[in-house]
Amino acid sequence: MQFLFRDHLLDTDRRELSREQVPVAVEPQVFDLVVHLMQNRDRVVSKDELIDKIWHGRSVSESTLTSRINAARKAIGDDGASQALIRTITRKGFRFVGDVQTQHGAVPPEPVRIAQPQAAFALPERPAIAVLPFTNMSGEAEQDYFSDGISEDIITALSKLRWFFVVARNSSFVYKGRAVHIHEVARELGVRYVVEGSVRRSGERVRISAQLNDVSTGSHLWAERYDRELADIFAVQDEITEAIVAAIEPQLYAAESFRAQQKPPGSLDAWDLVMRALSHYWRITREDNAVAQKLLEEAVAVDPAYGKALGLLATSHMFGAHMGWADMAATAPVAERAALAAVEADREDAWAHHGLAYTYLFRRRFDDALAEFELALRLNPNFAMAHAFHGVTLCYAGRWQDGDAAARRALRLSPRDPLAAIYCGVAAYARFVGRDYEGAVRMARESMRQRGDFVGAHRVLTAAAGMLGNPVLAASALEGLRRAQPEVSLAWITRELPMLREEDRAHYLQGLRRAGLK
C-alpha cells in the first residue's frame, strides 16, 4: 500500500518513506508508528494502543513515547508546534490529520504537489552525489573560470572513489546561475548527497567555502572554509580540491554507515554490510574488528566478487594481527587470499590494492607492498588511509622521513577522519625511528586522545618513554600497553613486527626494555 500526503510518499510494501522522491532515513520503529497512525487516521489512537502495536506491550516510558512521536513528526516534515500532520489529543492519544491519498502498486507516482517539467531519476544502487557549480562571489564574471574549475576538479576527484555514483559535469552545471533548492536538484538528478560552495576572491587572496548535504535528512554532514594566498592560482585550485575531496569521503562513508544501521537486518545488501563493517573497523578495538570481519564475510557471501569488501576484509585481518589480537602466521594466508581475490575482482579498486599491500608488508615483501600502495594511491590520490599505511610500511622499510611525510599527508588530507588516531600513531612511530622521542610522545598521546585503546600508540609511547629515561612516564605507559595488549612481550615484537633493518628492531626493543617490558 502507498500513502501520499503533501510531497511525501510512504510505501508499506517497500518500507520506504520519501520526500519529493528523495528517500528519507527513518528508524523501523518510527516507520511502523507512522504507518499505524496513518492506517487509523479516522480516529484517535491511544497511547496504550501504540505501545501494544509498536512495542508489543513492553513497558515504555512517557519520554520514550514522546521521543518516537517527535521523530515521526520530523520524518514527515511536521513538528510539535504546528502539529499539521500528527496531532496530540490531550489525555486521549494521537491522530494523523493530514490529507492522504492511497493506492496500490510498486511504482512511485510523481509527488502530489510538485510539478516539474524535467523527469526525475531513480536513486542508483550506489550512493549518488552531485557537485553544484561553486558560486562566484567576487562580482567579476571573468573569475567564473576559477570557481567552475574547483567544481569540475571535485567532480573528477570524487569519480575516482568508484563506489559513489557521481553526476557528470554537464548535468550538474545546468544549475549554474539558478536559484534552485537542493531538494529540487536531488529529485531531478536522482542523488542523495549534494556538494555546494562559493568562491570569493579579493586581490591576491581567495576564500572558498564548501559543504556536503544529505538531502534525504536535510542535514549538513560537513562544512569547511579555506583561506589562501593566490601565489599560484592552479596550485591553490589543486590544493583546495584535494582537501575537499579527502574530507568528504569519510563523511559519505559515515552517513552511509548510519543509513545501513537503520535498515532491518533482512534487507541488507553487500554495500550495507560493508558500511556497517566500516563503522566497527573505525573503532579500532579487538571486539569491533571481529564484528567488522563477520559483516565483511557476509558481504562477500552475498557478492563473491565485491572488491571493496574483500580488500577491507584483508585489511581487517592484517590489522588484527598487527595489533596482537590474532596469530600472524595463521592470519596472513587468509588475508592474502582475500586481497588477491579483491584485486582479481576489480583491478581498478584502490581498496583492493591497499589490502594486498598491507598483506605483503607482513609477508616481508617490502618492494611488493610499496608498489601496491603506490598503485592504490595512483587510483585514488586522496585515499588518506592508504597514505597512512603506506607511511608505516616506509617506516618499517627504514625510510622514516618518507613515512612521517606520508602520515602527515593523511592527517592533512583528512583531519576529521575516524581513523585519524592511526595516522597520528604512524607519525609517532616515524618520530621514534628518527630519534625524536619528545615528538613521538606528543603524537602518541594525540593518537590515544582520539582512541584510548589503540595498541600501536601505546607501544610507541612506551618505547619513547623508555628512551627518554622517564621512569614515571615509562611505568604509566607500560601499564596502559599491557591493558591494551595483555600478551605483548619483547619476543612478540621481535617475531611479529616486520622491520627490514635490524638496527630499527634493536632500537625499538631497547626502548621497550628500558620501560620494563620483558
pLDDT tens digits along 437-469: 999 999 999 999 999 889 999 999 999 999 999
- Asked if residues 23 and 216 have their Cβ atoms less than 8 Å apart, the reply is yes
pLDDT above 70 coverage of the chain, percent? 91
Give me the CATH code for the 263-381 domain, please.
Answer: 1.25.40.10
In this structure, are residues 460 and 507 in contact, taking their beta carbons and an 8 Å threshold?
no
What is the tens place of the pLDDT at every residue in 417-443? 888 999 999 999 999 999 999 999 999
| Whole-number pLDDT of residue 107 | 43
For residue 298, pLDDT beyond 90? yes
Cell of 393: 610500511
Domain ranges of the chain: 2-103, 128-236, 263-381, 397-518
The pLDDT, as a whole number, for residue 126 is 62
For residue 266, the model assigns a pLDDT of 64
Answer yes or no: is pLDDT of 124 > 50.
no
Query: In this structure, which long-range contacts are made by residues 275-283, counting pairs with CB atoms below 8 Å and at least 24 apart in sequence?
Result: 277/309, 277/312, 277/316, 278/253, 278/312, 279/254, 281/312, 281/315, 281/316, 281/319, 282/418, 282/419, 283/451
Residue 231 in this model has a pLDDT that exceeds 80 = no
The pLDDT of residue 24: 73
Overall fold of domain 2-103 = Arc Repressor Mutant, subunit A (1.10.10)
Q: What percent of the chain has pLDDT above 90?
A: 41
Judging by DSSP bridges, how do beta strands 128-131 and 101-103 pair with one another? unpaired
List, as one string, the DSSP characters of 126-192.
S-EEEEPPPEE-SS-GGGHHHHHHHHHHHHHHHHTTSSSEE--HHHHGGGTT----HHHHHHHHT-S
157/242 Cα distance (integer angstroms) = 8
pLDDT bracket for residue 415 (50, 70, 90): confident
CB atoms within 10 A of CB 391: 28
66-72 average pLDDT score: 83
pLDDT at 108 over 60: no
pLDDT, residue 110, reads 40
**CATH number corresponding to 397-518:** 1.25.40.10
What does the alpha-carbon distance between residue 357 and residue 348 come to, in Å, rounded to a whole number?
Answer: 14
Distance CA 448, CA 181 (A): 42
Residue type, 504: D
Contact at 8 Å (CB) between 435 and 480?
Answer: no
In angstroms, the CA 421 to CA 446 distance is 7
Per-residue pLDDT at 386 exceeds 60? yes
Max mean pLDDT range (50-59, 238-247, 264-273, 314-323): 314-323
How many CA atoms lie less than 13 Å away from 13 in the CB half-sphere? Answer: 9
Give the pLDDT confidence score for residue 20 in this predicted structure: 64
Give the phi and the psi of residue 295 in degrees, each rounded to 5: -65, -40
- Kindly state the DSSP code that residue 45 receives in the 8-state scheme: B
pLDDT at 241 over 60: yes
Place of cell 596502559: 480
Average pLDDT over residues 307-313: 91
Look at residue 56 in the predicted model and tell me its pLDDT: 75
pLDDT given for residue 250 in this prediction: 79
Instruction: Report DSSP letters for 46-68, one per residue.
Output: PHHHHHHHHSTT----HHHHHHH
Lowest-confidence segment of 11-15, 108-112, 201-205, 245-249 by average pLDDT: 108-112
Q: Would you call 356 helix, strand, or coil by DSSP?
A: helix
Residues near 49 by beta carbon (within 8 Å), at least 6 away in sequence: 93
DSSP letters spanning 486-501: TT--HHHHHHHS--SS
Q: To the nearest whole number, what is the mean pLDDT of the chain?
A: 85
- Cβ atoms of 324 and 340 closer than 8 Å: no
Query: What local confidence, expressed as pLDDT, does residue 120 receive?
Result: 42
3 state DSSP class of 226: strand
Backbone angles phi, psi at 89, to 5 degrees: -100, 110
How far apart (Å, rounded) are the C-alpha atoms in residues 317 and 332?
Answer: 8
Asked if the model's pLDDT at residue 116 lies above 60, the reply is: no
Q: What pLDDT shows up at residue 500?
A: 95
**Radius of gyration of the chain from Cα atoms?**
26
Cβ-based burial of 221 (10 A; exposed 0-12, middle 13-18, buried ≥19): middle
Of the candidate CATH numbers 1.10.150.310, 1.10.150.120, 2.120.10.90, 3.40.50.10610, the domain formed by 128-236 belongs to 3.40.50.10610
User: In a 10 Å sphere around its CB, with 0-12 CB exposed, 13-18 middle and 19+ buried, how is residue 170 labelled?
Assistant: exposed
Task: Determine the Cα–Cα distance for residues 162 and 354; give it in Å rounded to an integer.
Answer: 15
In which band, very low, low, confident or very high, does the pLDDT at 295 lie, cut at 50, 70 and 90?
very high
Query: What is the pLDDT at residue 462?
Result: 97
Q: Is 168 exposed, middle or buried (0-12, 13-18, 19+ CB in 10 A)?
A: exposed
pLDDT of residue 106: 46
Matching CATH topology for 2-103 and 397-518?
A: no
- 3-state SS, 422-460, equals HHHHHHHHHHHHCCCHHHHHHHHHHHHHHCCCCHHHHHH
pLDDT digits (tens, 9 = 90+) for 177-223: 777 788 888 888 888 889 988 888 777 888 888 888 888 777 788 88
- CA-closest candidate to residue 458, choices 444, 468, 471: 444
